[in-house]
């Protein structure tokens, strides 16, 4: 890949890669640094771009893997390890009554950010970033049926965690509420 091809094909992906990195890292500076590092890696491996069906998938895969590596280094804590007070601060009482959707969305983002791989990547790519099943499967280097299974399990996990949080906030015992 020539420098001109790189400028025309790869550099325009920068904004999308930043959005993806921000979804994983939830930090503006880290996301910006990550995109810069990924762009340098993409430039260094520009001749490998020909092995991917689409340059966008190549860029996304590199960004996803770099973010996962950084998160592993940081040893992100799992949601189950957090106390209920950390999950449900007093200011989020509005989501219990359905009055603040922004808080509910933020809570889902927290849940997703603490999921294990490949569940986190599947939800971020497919549900949050809007990639097609085919694009998501290519980036994750899996087949569509396996991706559908992963997404189904991830979404179920999110629903269960939201139910647990909401039942905590309302004082209901989920076992007796049914």
pLDDT score, position 102: 73
Q: What is the pLDDT of residue 100?
A: 60
d(CA 96, CA 166): 6
- The encoded tokens of residue 22 equal 């921000």
Reported confidence tier of residue 83, pLDDT bands at 50, 70, 90: very low
The owner of tokens 């880290």 is 30
Cβ–Cβ under 8 Å, residues 147 and 122 = yes
pTM of whole model > 0.75? no
pLDDT at residue 98 greater than cutoff 70:
no
Report residue 1 as tokens: 């890949």
The CA distance from 23 to 5, in Å, is 28
Q: Which two tokens stand for residue 14?
A: 């920068």
Low-confidence winner among 31-35, 87-91, 93-97 (lowest mean pLDDT): 87-91
Cβ 157 vs Cβ 80: under 8 Å = no
Whole-angstrom Cα distance, residue 115 to residue 135? 21
Cα–Cα distance list, 56 to 12, 87, 94, 131, 171 (Å): 10, 35, 39, 11, 47
For the chain, domains (ranges, CATH) are 1-76 (1.10.1740.10), 78-178 (1.10.10.10)
**String of DSSP letters for 78-144:** PGGGS-HHHHS-GGGHHHHTT--HHHHHHHHHHHHHTSPTTHHHHIIIIIIS---HHHHHHHHTS-H
Residue-wise pLDDT for 29-80, tens only, equals 999 999 999 999 988 888 776 667 788 888 998 999 999 888 877 764 443 3
Q: Mean pLDDT for the chain?
A: 78
Percent of the chain with pLDDT over 90: 25
């Amino acid at each position: 890949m020539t420098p001109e091809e790189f400028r025309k094909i790869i550099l325009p992906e920068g904004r999308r890669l930043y959005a993806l990195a921000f979804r994983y890292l939830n930090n503006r500076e880290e996301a910006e640094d990550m995109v810069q590092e990924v762009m340098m890696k993409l430039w260094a491996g520009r001749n490998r771009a020909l092995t991917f069906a689409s340059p966008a998938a190549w860029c996304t895969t590199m960004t996803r893997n770099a973010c996962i590596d950084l998160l592993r280094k940081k040893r992100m804590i799992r949601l189950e390890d957090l106390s209920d007070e950390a999950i449900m601060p007093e200011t989020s009482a509005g989501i219990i009554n359905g009055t603040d959707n922004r808080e509910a969305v933020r809570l889902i983002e927290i849940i997703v950010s603490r999921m294990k791989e490949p569940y986190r990547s599947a939800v971020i790519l497919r549900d949050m970033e809007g990639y097609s099943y085919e694009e998501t499967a290519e980036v994750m280097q899996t087949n569509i049926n396996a991706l559908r299974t992963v997404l189904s399990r991830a979404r179920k996990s999110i629903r269960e965690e939201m139910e647990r949080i909401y039942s905590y906030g309302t004082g209901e015992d989920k076992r007796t509420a049914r």
